[in-house]
Structure 1
Amino acid sequence: MATEDTPPDGEAERVTAFWRELGLPGLVDVHTHFMPDRVLDKVWAYFDAAGPLVGRSWPITYRMREEQRLEVLRSFGVRAFTAMLYPHKPAMAAWLNAWAADFAARTPDCLHTATFFPEPEAADYVEQAVRQGARVFKAHVQVGGYDPNDALLEPVWGLLAEAGVPVVAHCGSGPVPGKHTGPEPIARLLARHPRLRLVVAHMGMPEYGDFLDLAARHPGVRLDTTMAFTDFSEATAPFPPSELPRLADFGDRILFGSDYPNLPYPYLHALEALARLDLGRDWLRAVCHDNAAALFGPAPAAPRTEGTDTAEV
């Protein structure tokens, strides 16, 4: 069950100072999780038990009610965010999409998010979600345990490529490998759908270089920074120093993501981890705001939180 925990003292002020010093209007976070309470409670229970797909102790820093989680995110100056939700079995995605459509309708600063699973109905409910205004999809190859090249998903990928709707895909083998994780299945997918706007979650951790190679071959591929470069991830899946110059080269295709609220550390640390890469202010501005703004375009006005200015992406 969600509780009444509070974020670390003074964190909102320090996060706000981070983006203001860069001359930004706020942050865009492309990898945040909002989902039905009973689903999120089960996700948190899985993290608490250090389940097989977690592999280590993983305390939830922002274990709060939905209303409080939104308030905290807005207090950080996050102008737009997502509701990354995903099924782990058939006959679940359509229900999650219905919840997400309602959540987006009552949460204007959330980019309307949807998902899918390899099942006969997938093309129909994905098409419906696109018609309803879904602006981003989530694919979780690791949790779903499916091959992204499953024939049941072929019309889904084609539809999303044609519509130009981005897909954030957890397809790397972190924190532990899955049967269909890694760059090879995604390479085969992109060979058939080169126009797909695919955002590789977690920078493709731990196969960072391989997914940067895919980005080099496919202009539509982007990567999100979720949990990468932090002390937590560097302890087990360090980013290779030899690849740092490539981060600068792909500065226009890297998007800030946090994994909020499921972080095992304060939100601020995710931003500080980017800053300590020492890739420059222009790189930080692009990653923390401008690249996502270019990808998703203007967003509706959001509810105001005192001390912040949330309007468009």
Structure 2
Amino acid sequence: MTDGEAAEVRAFWQRLGLPGLMDLHVHFLPPPIERAVWREFDNGGELIGRDWPIRYRFDADERLRLLRDFGVRRFPTLPYAHKPGVAGFLNDWSRAFAAEVPEVLWTATFYPEPEAPSYVAELVRDGVAVFKVHSQVGRFHVDDPLLDGVWEVLEDSGTPVVAHVGSGPVGTPYTGPEAMTRLLARFPRLQVVVAHLGAPETADFVTLAERYDGVHLDTSMALAPFFTDPHGGRGEPARDLVPRLGALRHKVVYGSDFPTLPFRYAEQLGWLADLDLGDDWLRDVCWHNAVRLVGDPVAAS
């Protein structure tokens, strides 16, 4: 199923003259948490809202082999805390996993809880590469007062945060651009990567990326059916947004949402090319912008 696809993915980045792909939206989770997440996808739970077959339902070793075959040179694990008291477990597991897998960016998470500023500060001191938060699943606003101390630490350190704050695939009272807009007004130097282009509120998050130097957008799933059409039609940003994404050439980063994809990994790369923003744009999105955020895996090898 994947051998031909690996050749297709590699042909994409080789044609661009890149050494591989930087994929800033990949999930590896502790097995019991992963199984629980996959059950939500299988059941079309309230935050999924539709049938969502997981194409790459393999064990961790097989998924790592696939990413290597695709030529993905660096990727995070993106754990996300869904309730108080679980961030420590997720962070310990992610730290150990990153220590074993050289391509993995050490990733951590946090939750609005009194101890969050302390453990985030410790993780930053220890060299964590990136954080992940998921306001939809966690049911919190990113400007929750319990996170003020966290954002102070992250603004000072410049550590990037991948934030699922858009309302795709299903909106909640905690999703949308409002909380992020309030947060950036208070912490304007934050390095934020808005997951899924902030879909379906892409226009609002594009505006934030235009306004704040540290706001980036990842492409994961945003050009795919499930965020914009629950009936499975082809998704894409409004045509008037495409030139704005082109102008944000240094602020857009490639992400896939592997392994919980209902379609082939290679398709998202084709959809990016279909935006017709040029090879230089694709090179920045698929490699150079992520290198600026999290480091160069080629230089480190």
For residues 296 and 7 of structure 2, the distance between their equivalents in structure 1, rounded to whole angstroms, comes to 25
State the partner residue of 1:203: 197
* 1:283 aligned partner: 281
SS across alignment from 1:222: strand
Instruction: Name the TM-score, length of structure 1 as normaliser.
Output: 0.92
Task: Give the counterpart of 1:224 among 218, 228, 236.
Answer: 218
Select 1:83's aligned residue among 77, 80, 99: 77
Partner of 1:92: 86
C-alpha distance in structure 2 between counterparts of 1:32 and 1:126, whole Å: 21
2:174 matched to which residue of 1?
180
> SS of 1:184's equivalent?
helix
Residue identity in the other structure for 1:185: A
Out of 182, 185, 206, the residue aligned to residue 191 of structure 1 is 185
Q: Which residue of 2 aligns with 1:128?
A: 122
Aligned equivalent of 2:5, options 11, 21, 40: 11
State the match for 1:306 in structure 2: none
What's the secondary structure of 1:81's corresponding residue?
A: strand
Deviation at 1:234?
4.8
Q: 5+ residue gaps in structure 2?
A: none
Q: TM-score, normalised by structure 2?
A: 0.96
Cα distance change of structure 1 residues 311 and 42 upon mapping to structure 2, 3 Å threshold: farther
Shift of 1:232: 4.2
Letter in 2 for 1:256: Y
List alignment gaps of at least 5 residues for structure 1: 1-6, 300-309
- 1:1-313 equivalent positions in 2, closer than 5 A: 7-236=1-230, 238-299=236-297, 312=300
Q: Which range moved further: 198-207 or 232-241? A: 232-241
Rounded Cα–Cα distance in structure 1 between residues aligned with 2:31 and 2:244: 39
- The one of the two structures with greater contact order (alpha-carbon pairs below 8 A, sep at least 6) is 1
In structure 1, how many angstroms separate the alpha carbons of the residues matched to 2:84 and 2:299?
37
CA RMSD in angstroms comes to 1.3
Q: Distance in 2 between matches of 1:276 and 1:164?
A: 33
Deviation at 1:228, TM superposition (A): 1.2
Q: 1 CA distance for matches of 2:32 and 2:226? A: 27
- CA shift at 1:98, angstroms? 0.7
